Each structure stands twice: as C-alpha cells, then as structure tokens.
Structure 1
Amino acid sequence: MTSRFGLVGMPAVAVVLVCGVLGIQLAHGGGRFEPLHPADPCVARTVTSQAEGIDALTERLVLLGLDGAACRLGISREAFTLELAQPGPRTDEEVDALRAGLLDAVRRMEDDGTLPPISALVDEALDNSDLNGFLKAAIKALPDSVIDAALKTDDVLTRAIDGLDLRSILENLDDQQDLDRQMNAAVEQAVKDALVDRLKGLLP
C-alpha cells in the first residue's frame, strides 16, 4: 500500500522534474518560441519514395506537382492539399494549377536526370495491361535501345497528365490521405495506359 507520505510527496517530485526539464530547455535556447513555417512550395526540394518502378515515379510526380500548383496559387502546399481534401467541386483555377504543376514536375525531373528510361517501365506497364499474351511477348522482345530511342519518358508522362480528368478525381475525396491515394492511383494508371498505347505503335 502507498504511504500517505508518498502520496503527498509525488506532486513535489513532479514539480522538481518539470523545473529540471524547463531549465535544460532554457539553457539550450528553448525559451524562444518560434512557430514552424510551412516550406515554400516555390523552392525546389528533394522528394524520395520507398516504392519502386512506376509507383515511385508517380508518387514523386504527384508530390512535386502539388508543390508546383501551390506555388502558382501563392499558398503553401499544406494549405493547398487541405483545400483539395475538402468535399465539393473544384474551381477551374485549382484544376488548372494542379495540371500545370504536374507538367512542371515532369520538366523538373527531366532536367535533374531523375526520370528513368522508358524501357525500365515497360514490363510493369505490360503486366498490368489487358493486351493479349502475343502482343505482350512481342513488345517485351524489343531491345531496350529500340524502345528508348522511339519513346521518351517525359513525353509519355505529359500525354498521361493531359488525359487526366483531374476535376472528377478531386471531387470525391474524404481527406488528405485519400487525395494522395487517388492522385497516385490515377496518375499511375494514366502513365501505364499512355505507355502501352505508344508501345503498340512500335510493332509492325
């Protein structure tokens, strides 16, 4: 059983511990409160992904695209994504800014050399397509050099983004996680469809 002395002494011990923590914080400059500021979406940042292949590519594309859209609108990326996550129709300005942001992201990744060659995406795109086995095998038999000479990743991505119905994607969201999930899924599928469509044109 806890003694009466122990119960009485506990608040005093707590006060001593809190004072000790505050003293350490003050000694290291913790007495100055500076609110955190959202990152400037107009400043280029490094975006990485734990995923691989087309999923990793589209994840980076969406994150950079949201930055670009927020920059165009003059707000933080956090404020923009929170706004998009609200239910209801999207404005023309929001839709246009997001599409432009995604296209800007393609150009940025092309400039910094982070776009993979199109041949690195072929197998994944074909495996998720509804092409018959004969066509899939014929395309996979093409040398990587032939595919990369005929198709450019930035061109495939641009076609995919131009074909996205962003307004529909953005009108049925539940929260910010749903925004990321829906955008990634839509962009990924659009990239696969655009890639497969272009690959079919390489066959005689």
Structure 2
Amino acid sequence: MTSWLRWTALPVLAVALVAGVLAVQVGHGGGSFEPLHPADPCVEREVTSRAEGIDALTERLVLLGIDGAACRLHINREALTLELAQSDDPTDAQVDALRGGLHDAVHRMKADGTLPPISSFVDEALDNADLNGFLKAAIRALPDSVIDAALKTDDVLDRTIDDLDLRELLANVDDQDDLNRQVEAAVTQAVKDSLVDRLRNLL
C-alpha cells in the first residue's frame, strides 16, 4: 500500500470506529439522552450508613435533616448548598429550615423505629469524656434498662439540635460534602457531650 493510500485510509478507519461506537450506544438506549434532574428533597428516601454507633446515627440524621431543610425552603439540596456557599452570612430562614429539618429527621427515625436506644451509645460517649475513672465505671455499671428509662434518644437529639450554633456552621460551607461533614461533626460531638452530662446526673 502506498503512503498516500495509508494516509487516506486512516480517516476512513477512524470514522468507521466512531460510527461503530455510536451504533452500540444507540442500541443500548444512548440515543435518548435526558439531563439528570435534582432529587426532590420532599420525597422520603432510604438513607443508610457504613459507619457505626453515634457516627452512623448522626450521618443519617444530617442527610435527612438537609433534605428536610431544602424541602422547607422549596428548593433542591444542590440549590441550598450553592446558596450557602455563596454567602458567609446565612439567612434566618436557612438556619431555621436546617434546625427544623433536623428535628423532622429525629421524629421520622423515631416513627419508623430506626432510633437505637440511648444505652447503645454509652461506652462510646464515655471513651473520650473528661470524667475520672471512678465516675466512668459507675455510669457503665448502670443497667441498660435504667439508662433507657431515664434517657430517650429522640429527647437527647432534640436538645442537642436546639443547642447547636447552626449559623456559625452554615457560614463556612463550600460544597455538599462540606455541609454534611461540618454538621455531622458538630452533631456527633454535641450528642456525646449531652449524653455524658445527662448520664452523670443519673448518679
């Protein structure tokens, strides 16, 4: 084959390969492209976590809470995150929506039976608590039934949410992962602190 024929054949071969790929794509439904629409935050979705303990609880709480906040504001999650990222001063409506969304998430988990008993978090909360060893041992000696009768998971979460400085948290959001991470970290620590404080009062 001459040099001229080789150079002529290359574009033809390229066109044939592209046409073959397009044919396969169209054959598998690739010809009916539809842009993805943001999920409706008002539609309940299943939220699971790979984490364990308090981290798993707060991860689910925050994901559902952000959905609830977006729903209250009549926008999607992506739009809410974008609004927060574009301002260092969240509005009262945004702060109230997130607090309300987090409370809604607590009530939803209580209603569907996915809130673990508070006794299942005692050891984790005490591990890094600023308490002397004797007090920790005394709390750990309390029967689960006594702890669960005195402290309810939804009550601990609701009080924790009320005490969170959400305005400060929302002022430092850059993207969706950032929003999730910051709120989760704050809620996790606040739950541990609240639980330890209330457990100490049982003695």
Normalising TM by the smaller chain, what interval? Answer: over 0.9
**1:113 — aligned with what?**
113
Q: For structure 1, which segment, 5-14 or 120-129, has the greater mean C-alpha deviation from structure 2 after superposition?
A: 5-14
Residue 137 of structure 2 corresponds to which residue in structure 1? 137
Checking the alignment, whether the CA contact within 8 Å between 2:78 and 2:176 is kept in structure 1 is no
**Partner in structure 2 of residue 19 of structure 1:** 19
Alignment correspondent of 1:33: 33
Q: Which amino acid aligns with 2:29?
A: G
Q: Name the SS of the counterpart of 2:97 in structure 1.
A: helix
Identity between Structure 1 and Structure 2 (%): 74
1:63 aligns with 2:69: no
- Paired residues of 1:85 and 1:179 also in contact (CA < 8 A): no
Deviations 1:128-171 (A, max 9, x none): 21112111111001011111111110000001000000001111
- Number of residues of Structure 1 aligned to a counterpart in Structure 2: 201
How far apart, in 1, do the equivalents of 2:156 and 2:112 lie? 17
- How far apart in 2 are the matches of 1:143 and 1:38? 47
Structure 2's unaligned 5+ residue stretches are none
Structure 1: 5+ residue stretches without partners? none
Distance 1:139 1:170 in 2: 35
Cα deviation for residue 23 of structure 1 reads 1.2
1:84 counterpart = 2:74? no
What letter is aligned with 1:23? A
Match of 1:146 in 2: 146
Distance (whole Å) between structure 2 residues aligned to residue 191 and residue 130 of structure 1:
15
Matching residue of 1:74: 74
| Structure-2 residue corresponding to 1:94 | 94
Distance in 1 (alpha carbons) for counterparts of 2:34 and 2:147: 53
Q: For structure 1, which segment, 192-201 or 65-74, has the greater mean C-alpha deviation from structure 2 after superposition?
A: 192-201
Question: Which letter does structure 2 place at the counterpart of 1:19?
Answer: A
User: Aligned with 1:47: secondary structure?
Assistant: coil
